[in-house]
Structure formats: C-alpha cells, structure tokens
A = this chain, B = another copy of it.
C-alpha cells in the first residue's frame, strides 16, 4: 500500500481542529456530521457557514466525503489516517484495567492458554474481534529427546523443547530398532546436544555424518536417520496459525451488517491465509501498526481497520496480536489496548520460559 504521509502544513490549525472534532464525533455516533453540529460541538466560536467552507476544503483535499448532497460529512480513509497519525492523543489505560488484564493472563498455564486469554482479552475489552498469532520461536532449545519403538518400522520421537513444550512425531525408519538401540541413540543426542538450538543440532549432526561417512559407525547412522526426520524444519514448526476471539462481535456493527460482506470476512477467518499475510508484515515492524480500510490491501477488509502489534522477548519477535473492527472504531482507546496487551503477553511469555 502506498501510504504517503500527509504534510500537516497543508492544513491550517483551525482545519485540523475541525477535522479532529468531526472524526471524534463521527466515531461516537456514526452519523454524518454537519456544519451546525460541529459549530455547537467544538469550543471555537464559528458560524456554521464558516465551518462549511472549511469542510469544503477538507473534502477537496480528500479527508472527508459526503454520502450525498445533503448529508453531513464522514471521514475518508485519508481522514482517519491523518487523525491517527497527527491528531489523536491516546489515553493510556487505567491502572485497574491493566492489573485485571495481568491477573487474567497469570491464570493461564500453557502457552496456548496464554494466547487464548490474550485473544479473549482483546475482544472482550474492545467489543471487536481479537486475534493472536501463535508464537513461533525461531530458536527452539532442545532439552531432551527420546525414541520409543512402535510396530512396523515406526518410531515415536518425543522432543522436549524450551523447558515446557513437548512435541511428538512418528518417524518411519528403514528397519525395526530394538529398544536398547533407540535408547542409545537418544542418550547420544541428549549428551551432546541438550541445551542447543534445534537447527544447530541438525546441522552439526549432518556435518558429523559427512565426516564419518567412511567409518561404518552404526550408532551414528542410526542417530542420523532419526534425527534427520525428527528435527526436520517442516515438521518442527507448528503450521502458522492464530487464535481468534469475539468474531461474532463484528456482527453487531451496522457498517458491516451486510451478509455478503460478513461472509467474506468470516471466510477469511477460516482460511487464515490472507490474515496471516497481513500480520506477517507486522512481524518485522515495531510497535503498534494501524491499517485503515483498504490500506491493508485485502478486499475483505475494505470496511475494516486492523490494529496490530508484535510481541516477544526483547531481542526477538515471537508473534503479532491485534484487533479487527470496523473502520469507524475508537482508535484512541484501542491503540493503547493493543499496545498494553502485547507488552503483557510478552512479559508473561518471558517469565514462563
């Protein structure tokens, strides 16, 4: 999306103030705002006629548009954009709210529970849809690995990573191994590689195998065959995924009340691909990202805004979380909410590890 910044210089102070008042007003009650209303509403002592002139300018510049000749004006995407970039002042959440969020997150035990809670918090507090990408840790530390024989040349690999998470994988091997053989192999891996990064382990192992190729080291062969499968990157990572909460909240907004539009949106929720693409962009960003209306580049989100923020440990982004709602949303409240949630989730994940 070409999102060229709007030079504030184009707009007089007065125009900016009026734009701000209009956007706030429109966000509040969803009706197009007319000059009369605005004249009363803002502190400024101006007649409706004057305001009409200013509004006319703002429309010409693309910040406002009129649904029809004799309605008031509503903000365009550009108008919202200028509002969130320059005009709005976010009000930080009250302490009490933050604390109750913290409590909620503390209640979760597993990583998945944490993600679930965060998502519920986002949707509950915003009355829109909350979304949290499953954290994907780039560096996965091997803590322990075990192999158990199953029947028919299948081996069950159990991999404990990051102190808490357990992954199972069924390997198909070239012959049946005995229990002792498997234990040996596991011991070998645990002895040498416990505490190392999973990808490193794999690379190092392959290197070693190359070196020892000539010597027919049976143990190493065995280890290699299984580790190859057990640690392969495709298998390693859970499929990209996210947890969604409060989708149905979106059915309450009149601007999304069209069943066709909703259908598109919900299909995007179930197919996930598009949304993941969008959220991926935020992985490489810093702080709260805002996509207003068609800025996201996905047609189903044309009438929606997405507020997202990455979370993770200081050095490393683990995922992205955010909110989806109609373009007309209370940005001033939602932005800090997303911000705080990201920080709290980060903290919770770190203390957990």
Contact = CB atoms under 8 A, between A and B. Distances in A.
A262 interface: yes
Secondary structure of the A side of the interface? mixed
Interface string A237-257: 000000000011001100001
Given A144-B148, A263-B248, A160 B166 contact: no
Given A150-B160, A158-B158, A270-B247, A263 B259 contact: no
Interface residues of A, number: 25
Contact of A151 (B146, B163, B262): B163
Contacts of A164: 170
A267 B251 CA distance: 10
Nearest to A158: B158
Interface in A124-163: 144, 146, 148, 150-151, 156, 158, 160, 163
Contacts of A257: 259
Contacts of A178: none
A172 to B, nearest CB: 11
Nearest to A183: B183
Interface string A256-276: 010110110011001000000
Contact of A248 (B160, B252, B267): B267
Contact of A166 (B151, B163, B168): B168
A251 B247 contact: no
Contacts of A262: 251, 259, 262
Interface in A86-136: none
Contacts of A166: 156, 158, 168, 170
24 contacts: A144-B148, A146-B146, A146-B158, A148-B158, A150-B160, A150-B163, A151-B163, A156-B158, A156-B166, A158-B158, A158-B166, A158-B168, A164-B170, A166-B170, A168-B168, A247-B270, A248-B263, A248-B270, A251-B262, A251-B263, A251-B266, A252-B263, A259-B259, A259-B262
